Amino acid sequence: MSSRAAEAVRLLTVKGETLAVAESLTGGLVAAEITSVPGASKVFRGSVTAYATELKHGLIGVDATLLAQRGAVDPQVAAEMAAGVRKALGADWGIATTGVAGPDPQDGQPVGTVYVAVSGPSVTDSVFAGGGKVKHLRLNGDRAEIRMESVRSVLALLLGELAGEQTGNERAQDTERNGGF
């Protein structure tokens, strides 16, 4: 169990919110990391491992034209995966991974090209439909290292959003306690 997964479960539990995961190159590793945390069942709705490109459309609603034009390794695909799994599984938050773990390039993208995404109630700084935040990674290493770093990166992205939202809420509460000053 990772400390990032444990912290994500803790923050989601405190907030009373839920999480869903859409995975491609990580093949279920993100869901495994989250569910290794005791108490994860309070917050984890489930996951979709959409390894095949057509499943990204069929199961979680990624735009078929986008997939046909750009392939599965694309920032907007990642954003739509996160938003789509969030909607499909009825969660407050959705996170997603898509990329190339190797050994061969895919969709014209070199090995180590990864996109991780988060979609949630406070994530609005995106040009993508449905909101969401996407991070582009260029990872080195073998297939296993690329996949594990993708897990760490998507959990870090989620934590950044959860912690940022919590900080904002704490400030709002402080303002109320201090009479609005």
- Give the pLDDT of residue 178: 33
pLDDT at 19 over 80: yes
- Give the pLDDT of residue 171: 35
Rg (CA), the chain: 16
User: For 107-112, what is the mean pLDDT?
Assistant: 94
Question: How many other β-carbons are positioned within 10 Å of the β-carbon of residue 83?
Answer: 27
Q: Determine the longest span between alpha carbons in the chain, in angstroms.
A: 60
List, in order of start, the domains of the chain with CATH numbers. 3-174 (3.90.950.20)
- Give the pLDDT of residue 172: 36
pLDDT digits (tens, 9 = 90+) for 55-96: 999 999 999 999 999 999 999 999 999 999 999 999 999 999
161 close to 19: Cβ distance less than 8 angstroms: no
Encoding tokens for residue 171? 């400030």
| DSSP helix/strand/coil, 99 | strand
d(Cα 137, Cα 139) in Å, to the nearest integer?
6
Encoding tokens for residue 35? 């569910």
Report residue 164's pLDDT band, with 50, 70 and 90 as the boundaries: confident
Report residue 42's pLDDT band, with 50, 70 and 90 as the boundaries: very high
87 close to 70: Cβ distance less than 8 angstroms: no
Encoding tokens for residue 97? 């991974």
